[in-house]
Homo-oligomer: A and B are copies of this chain.
Amino acid sequence: MSRLAADKDLLIVRVAELYYEEGKTQDEIGALLDLSRFKVGRLLSQARADGIVRIEIVHPRARRLGLERQLRDRFGLHEAVVVPASNSADEDLKRVAQAAADQLTMLRPVPRTLAVSWGRTLTAVASSLEDGWARGVTVVQMNGGVSVNRRPGGAAPLAAAIAKRAAGHAVLLPSPAILDRLETKRAIESDRTIAGVLDQAAKADAYLFTAGVCDESSAHVENGYLSAGDVDELTRRGAVGDVLGRYVDADGNIVDPELDSRTLGLGLDQLRAAKVAIFVTAGQAKHDIARTVVRGGLCTTMVTDEDTARALLEEV
């Protein structure tokens, strides 16, 4: 045994320091510490395996490929994109948005029609897209959301921005997200213009969407479609969030069918059936709804941050 061997971990630390910080070869380290180079090599492997040596890729555009593979395997996703955790929620969102923009830009074949939902997350994606990310894409709004309040994240400006940067055009859904009365929703839905847009959305080549949280910070509350009391009631019924305005519980079941019937836009079955459905999410508030989306097969591609990926993978 070597002279230094008071403690195995301490030996591993010393070996790792000589190799990674001093740049010495395994042979040189062996000579210094009275060990064979094979033993030194094994100690280094162990240092990496035990996390004593940590090799990290530090860059805003970096990905976490290991987590991506685990997400694909665990949830049967066609593709997963995970970006490294940063020091703030805002930076996490920016990185996720940039990664989603990258995914859209690299999508092959290029979609001729792209259906989009709306919210702050997708607004960030739109901001990250470069001009010319594609050419001639028709961007169709797939759920209601005329902006009642003047806040960022409105559906119409978002779809328009994405379309503009692809030298395409936007097809808007001029309807509120949720109607007060079922009759009104049915009337709007039957209008030839609205029906045409929904039909176009249903036939889109690809879908880009995010999910909403079920609390006061919800875009629906911000935009006046729901009150704080409404979302409290939805939470009581087990809702973990919404997809395309459809409030669902952890198992993906609609928690309030009556409310759902008054909600205008594509249904979740249409996402399930899609060949390309890109789900973009960031932040801990959306962990629950994110889990529901990937478990429920509502997306083919997920773009998210490291903490969300770890949270989804943690569960037995």
Q: Which A residues fall within an 8 A CB radius of B?
A: 7, 9-10, 13, 16-18, 20-22, 47, 51-59, 61-66
Closest Cβ neighbor of A21 among chain B residues: B65
Q: Is the CB of B59 within 8 A of A56?
A: no
Give the docked Cα–Cα distance between A10 and B101 (Å).
Answer: 14
Give the docked Cα–Cα distance between A54 and B53 (Å).
Answer: 10
**How close is A214's CB to chain B, nearest CB, in angstroms?**
34
Q: In the assembly, how many copies of this chain are there?
A: 2
**How close is A67's CB to chain B, nearest CB, in angstroms?**
9
Q: Is the CB of B21 within 8 A of A61?
A: no
Give the residue of B16, B59, B63, B64 whose beta carbon is less than 8 angstroms from that of A57: B16
Q: Is the CB of A56 within 8 A of B54?
A: yes
Q: Is the CB of B9 within 8 A of A66?
A: no
Q: Is the CB of A17 within 8 A of B65?
A: yes
16 interchain pairs, CB-CB under 8 A: A9-B61, A13-B57, A13-B63, A16-B57, A16-B62, A18-B65, A21-B64, A22-B65, A47-B57, A53-B55, A53-B58, A54-B55, A54-B56, A55-B55, A55-B56, A56-B56
**How close is A303's CB to chain B, nearest CB, in angstroms?**
16
Q: Is the CB of B20 within 8 A of A63?
A: no
A10 partner residues in chain B, CB cutoff 8 A:
61
A20 partner residues in chain B, CB cutoff 8 A:
55, 57
Give the docked Cα–Cα distance between A9 and B46 (Å).
Answer: 30
Closest Cβ neighbor of A106 among chain B residues: B4
Give the docked Cα–Cα distance between A31 and B13 (Å).
Answer: 35
